[in-house]
Structure 1
Amino acid sequence: MLVLFLKSNQLIVATILVPLSTLFLVNISNPLEVKAATEWSEEYDATEGKLHNVAVENSEAGYFGNGYIASWNGNGQFVQLEVSVPSAGAYTFVFNYSAAAGSATRYLSVNSEVVIEEVRFSGTGSWGDWQTTYVKDVYLTSGVNTITLGFDSAKGSTNWLNYDSLIVKEPSEKQSVEWDLKEEAELAQQSLEDNFWDNETSMFRNQYPDDEENNRFHYWWLAHGIDTLMDGYERTGNSQYIDKATALYAAVKERNGRDIRNDFYDDMLWMALALQRLHQFTNDPEHEQAVFTLWEDIKTGWSNEYGGGIAWNKSQLDYKNTPSNAPAVILATRLYQNYGNDEDLQWAKKIYNWLTDTLVDPTNGFVWDGINRTGDGKIDKEWEFTYNQGVYIGASVELYQVTGEEKYLNSAVRTANTAKNIFSNHNHIIYEGGSGDGGLFKGILVRYVTDLVKVDPSQEQLAQWIVDNAKNVWKKVKLVPEILFGSSWEGKNRLPIELSQQLSGVMLMEHAAQLEPIILKQTTSSLEEHIANYQENNQLDKVLAKKLSNQVKQANDHLDKGRLKQAVNHLELFKKHLEKGLDKGAITNKVYKAIQEILNKSL
């Protein structure tokens, strides 16, 4: 292994090699992809930059150029590249890296100005497992720009990182994902069927490509399989989703020894929630009875040790965690809504109060995992999972809906915003990876953030967060015909893809499709209100106001009929009228900027 060690006080300057210019061709692998398009791009070898207190290695294969930057985990270390672009404007940076020690962060500066304090590099499987992360909308001046990636703990820099190369490219609108994700959601569901469904067993396989030796029975994954199929049915009304969900339930029960119960209270809760939804559409008494059977068994997990709470499993009744309590609140509340049994509502409140008092950080609403896992009464505060945030949000939303008490809604909003801040990278993409059971965690968060936005449409930023994640992931998964969602929603997929990971991806697309019309409706409502106010205060020409109002009205008409793309077209026309009005002096610059800011939330 060749390693170049640099003295801590020595600054090494290397001559910048002429970068490779490339034309990217986007291949078509499904009908939603864009025809081949060209875009300007140049790749720079990180080892050819100005290096300060870092080392150069070349022992791991697959790097670009002469090697890669390594031995990088201390203050004052940085890599500086001189990049040249053809014109001033916004560019996208793509960093090629590996991070086998876990997630790392670095600051990014352009021409000596820090533009992002924490660029996040998610952990990779090994030092030879090269991944990419990107930073979009970086403004560069025409000609040469100085790009620095550095370590400064005061800015939040952490952990070891190998840095291989930087690609600078023009953003391509042709590769963007358009509004109206219903078609993408359907393709995701189709992939779930084509690549995971087993007609012989009437169950989903554990992974793609299939491994016959990987025949473990994942009861709770399959519960989410039923739930995800119900998402497809509610979007389309296609009875094939109901048929498949019904067959899956029967197969799970058969595989489970003809008994729907098992030893894990959280598993049973997910099955009960899925079957509760299924029963709403089948009206099959067997599905209803299964929910009752599960609920009666789940309640036996409650004990007064550590103040209350439902245990995680039947062999460790003094270990209580969020996954076995927040979903119990959701189930109990929905049972109360369906049957009006006040005892179920009391159970929901009792469990919720214990959970909030025991496992929720009172300062920011962050939800901890559990208490007494290791038998010492300790709370697992270091176990930070999207899963726990999602189910607590769901529990809070359900109680708000049945009681109307604002405290529950406020708790849901606070936890959701905390989760967004903690689990998002510099591009607002949820960075939590996960294999095995962890593959489901992000999808669970998405499901219940969506429920929150449905009851409180003013949470536009949360809605946009989910939609942005969906569009970001889709740009990646659409490049292969199988439509596969892996562990990461940021970088490259690695085979095999587990069922848990695929289900999370399908949940993301289904729920983003539900949130899009809410975002657009909030935009049109805000535009209507502002146009009326500005016209009343003589800040907007009447003729222009009429043209703008007409476009908003037509956008709303299309939204009411579920035609999102047509609605967006009218908002684009609105934008053109607005720009012409500014040119003609029919609107002040201040009012123009205010309306444009509202419009930019959608366009």
Structure 2
Amino acid sequence: MKKFLIVLSVLSGMAFTSCIDKDLGPLRNNFEEVEEIVYDYAATADSMQSSTYSLYIAADGSFNFNPGGSFGGYWPNAHALHVYVDAYTRTGNGIYLDRMKKLLNGIKSNNGGTFTNVFNDDMLWLGNSCVRAYEATGDEEYLDVAEFLWHDILESYSEVFGGGITWKKDTPNLKNAVSNGPTIVLATRLYHVTNDDYYLDWAKDLYVWQKENLVDPETGLVWDNIELIEGVPTVKKDWIFTYNAGTWIGSGLRLFQITGENGYLLDAIKTAKSSMTRSEISTEGVLNNEGQGDGGLFKGVFVRYFTELIQEPSLNETDRKAMIDFMKFNADTFYKSGLKRPEMLSGPNWREMPTGQTDLTTQLSGMMLIEAAALLQEEGIFE
């Protein structure tokens, strides 16, 4: 009689199988009991933080776009600050305080000695990460930068299309979800730390504008932009990306938490549910591969705000369980199939090991996923 013996083992977080085909005599069981993988997301996050720092860091404290390459760009480095804040709030390790400040200064020096940028979305990403850094550290410099960026961005508000922020300072007839959703989130963050209704009023105004112009009323998914083409307002409805859904979820959730108005929460839930089930955002339970380059960072932004929604106490348990299962499936899939060891590198497809070069954007998305998983595991939300 022949037997196939399947043994599952875990070594440095990697699972592998081996098959042995030989005569073994009388059998009591056809298969040896398989040990379940135990996920330690905090340890994995620490390893990814360490590896990313070693591979991508530049002499001025900013991150290169590729190991040994040149400056990784304004907005990827803004998200790197987010990831530092994740690590610092999770561990309390003071090493991240120095790294955060060097990164902030590195972004400025690589941007011509100023935080002003023609891309409003670039400044928005940094403004949001700076408010988080201020909340985590109490360092007023971060808040000063965020408030400076806020006022710079508002110069691009206009009544073209009835309101909204332009994508860039020089595109008066083009307004994107990526320059409005993060503005709403930034406004709510600044309201939270200043208690100034000025910011809340802006958040509400921009929320109404984006919902009327860039959000599908049926699905809650977010269209990329509205542009004046030959005098006709045209919405780019076939461009639907994870990060726009993420910031819309964050916008509705935060306005609900501030105002208590349930409609905001229902909007966030609608977008979250569609993101879990519709092919524009995910496939068979895993967030879509949106490539490297800019697209490499999109999923990480989604994960950040989707995680905040999972943590919201007002969610009903059915919705919460579905969202937890979705997040855990993404994290577990990436942990088992998409994280290249020992380099601890992420690819754009969380179902597959990365091959070739990994862009900073793509690496940061993987780090955001693992940091979110570590947070949810620490809070007992991931069992």
TM-score (norm. length: structure 2): 0.88
In 2: Cα distance, 1:216 partner to 1:342 partner: 38
Q: What secondary structure is seen at the aligned counterpart in 2 of 1:193?
A: helix
Alignment counterpart, residue 329 of structure 2, candidates 468, 472, 488: 468
Q: Distance in 1 between matches of 2:120 and 2:355?
A: 32
Matched, 1:399 2:255: yes
Q: In the TM superposition, what whole-angstrom CA distance separates every residue of 1:539-572 from its partner, at most 9, and x where no partner exists?
A: xxxxxxxxxxxxxxxxxxxxxxxxx8xxxxxxxx
Letter in 1 for 2:38: E
How far, CA to CA, are the matches of 1:171 and 1:515 in structure 2?
32
Aligned pair partner of 1:188 in 30, 40, 48: 48
Evaluate the alpha carbon distance shift between residue 203 and residue 33 of structure 1 in structure 2; reply closer, same or farther with a 3 A threshold: same
Q: Counterparts of 2:53 and 2:325 in 1: how far apart (Å)?
A: 28
Deviations 1:73-119, CA, capped at 9 Å, x for gaps: xxxxxxxxxxxxxxxxxxxxxxxxxxxxxxxxxxxxxxxxxxxxxxx
Matching residue's letter, 1:38: S
Q: CA RMSD in A?
A: 2.5
Q: What is the CA–CA distance in structure 2 between the aligned matches of 1:172 and 1:203, rounded to whole Å?
A: 48
Distance 1:195 1:298, change over 3 A: same
Q: Which residue of 1 aligns with 2:243?
A: 387
Residue 367 of structure 1, CA deviation = 1.0
Distance change (3 Å), C-alpha of 1:39 and 1:237? farther
Which amino acid in 2 is paired with 1:511?
A
1:217 Cα offset (Å) = 4.9
Checking the alignment, whether the CA contact within 8 Å between 1:26 and 1:37 is kept in structure 2 is yes
Q: Are residue 437 (structure 1) and residue 291 (structure 2) matched? A: no
CA distance in 1, matches of 2:267, 2:365: 24
d(CA) in 2 for partners of 1:394 and 1:480? 32
Alignment of 1:181-330 (within 5 A): 181-198=41-58, 200-208=59-67, 210=68, 212=69, 215=70, 217-330=72-185
* Aligned counterparts of 1:452 and 1:277: Cα–Cα separation in 2: 17
Give the distance between the partners of 2:101 and 2:71, measured in 1 at CA. 21
CA contact (8 A) 2:338 2:350 kept: no
- Distance in 2 between residues matched to 1:499 and 1:320, nearest whole Å: 27
2:267 maps to what in 1?
A: 411
Q: Which has the higher strand share?
A: 1
Name the aligned partner's letter for residue 374 of structure 2.
Answer: A
CA distance in 2, matches of 1:22, 1:241: 47
> Which one has the largest radius of gyration?
1
Q: Which runs of 5+ in 2 are unaligned?
A: 22-29
TM-superposition CA deviations, 1:375-423 (whole Å, max 9, x none): 6421111002111100100111110111011111111011001011123
Aligned counterpart for 2:377 among listed residues 516, 540, 544:
516
Q: 1:173 to 1:282 in 2, by over 3 A?
A: same
Q: Deviations over 1:290-346 (max 9, x none)?
A: 111100011111111111110000111221111000111111111111112111111
Contact conserved, 2:87 with 2:96, CA < 8 A, in 1? yes
Secondary structure at 2:178 match in 1: helix
Quick check: 179-188 or 330-339, which moved more?
A: 179-188
- Does structure 2 retain, via aligned residues, the 8 Å contact 1:39–1:172? no
1:466 CA drift (Å): 1.1
Say whether the 8 Å CA contact 2:7–2:32 is kept in structure 1.
Answer: no
When residues 329 and 40 of structure 1 are mapped into structure 2, their CA distance, relative to the original with a 3 A threshold, is farther
Partner of 2:48, secondary structure, is: helix
CA distance in structure 1 between the partners assigned to 2:183 and 2:120 by the alignment: 9
**1:196-216 deviations in Å (ceiling 9; x for gaps):** 122x221112124x3x4xx25
1:148-204 Cα distance to aligned partner (Å, 9 max, x none) = xxxxxxxxxxxxxxxxxxxxxx99944x54244211222221221122122x22111
CA separation in 1, counterparts of 2:127 and 2:215?
25
Deviation at 1:478, TM superposition (A): 5.0
Counterpart of 2:25 in structure 1 is none
Query: Could you say what secondary structure the match of 2:286 adopts?
Result: coil
1:510 offset after TM fit, Å? 0.6
Displaced runs of 4 or more, over 6 A: 21-27
Tell me which residue corresponds to 1:591: none
- Following superposition, the deviation at residue 227 of structure 1 comes to 0.5
User: What's the secondary structure of 1:503's corresponding residue?
Assistant: helix
- Relative distance call for 1:478 and 1:511 in structure 2 (3 A) is same
Residue 496 in structure 1 maps to residue 357 in structure 2: yes
Give the partner amino acid of 2:325: Q
With over 3 angstroms needed to count, the CA separation of the structure-2 counterparts of 1:395 and 1:171, relative to structure 1, is: farther
Does the 8 A contact of 1:487 with 1:493 survive in 2? yes
Deviation at 1:255, TM superposition (A): 1.4
Identify if the C-alpha distance between structure 1 residues 389 and 172 changes in structure 2 by more than 3 Å, giving closer, same or farther.
Answer: farther
User: What is the alpha-carbon distance in structure 2 between the residues aligned to residue 186 and residue 348 of structure 1?
Assistant: 35
Letter matched to residue 453 of structure 1 = I
**Residues 196, 206 of structure 1: 8 Å contact kept:** yes
- In structure 2, relative to structure 1, the CA distance for the partners of 1:357 and 1:40 (3 Å cut) is farther
Return closer, same or farther for 1:373/1:172 CA change in 2, 3 Å cut-off.
Answer: farther
Whichever structure has more helix as a proportion of its residues is 2
Looking at structure 2, the residues matched to 499 and 507 of structure 1 have their Cα atoms a distance apart, in angstroms, of 12
Q: Which moved more, 1:186-195 or 1:282-291?
A: 282-291
Other structure's SS at 1:312 match: coil
Paired letter, 1:207:
N
In the superposition, the TM-score normalised over structure 1's length comes to 0.57
**Bigger RCO (CA 8 Å, 6+ sep):** 2
Structure 2 Cα separation of the partners of residues 437 and 374 of structure 1: 25
Partner of 2:18: 38
**Equivalent residue in structure 2 for 1:369, among 210, 219, 224:** 224
The number of residues matched between the two structures is: 365
Aligned to 2:345: 484
Residue equivalent to 1:349: 204
Residue of structure 2 in register with 1:332 after alignment:
187
Q: Which amino acid aligns with 2:264?
A: Y
What CA distance in whole angstroms lies between the structure 1 residues aligned with 2:229 and 2:353? 36
- Give me the identity figure in percent: 34
Q: Which amino acid aligns with 1:191?
A: S
Letter in 1 for 2:42: K
The secondary structure found in structure 1 opposite 2:311 is: helix
- Residues 467, 515 of structure 1: 8 Å contact kept: no
> What letter corresponds to residue 252 of structure 2 in structure 1?
S
Aligned residue for 2:348, secondary structure, equals coil
Q: Secondary structure at the match of 1:377?
A: strand
Please say if residues 177 and 475 of structure 1, whose CA atoms lie closer than 8 Å, have aligned partners that are also in contact.
Answer: no
The structural deviation recorded for 1:233 is 0.6
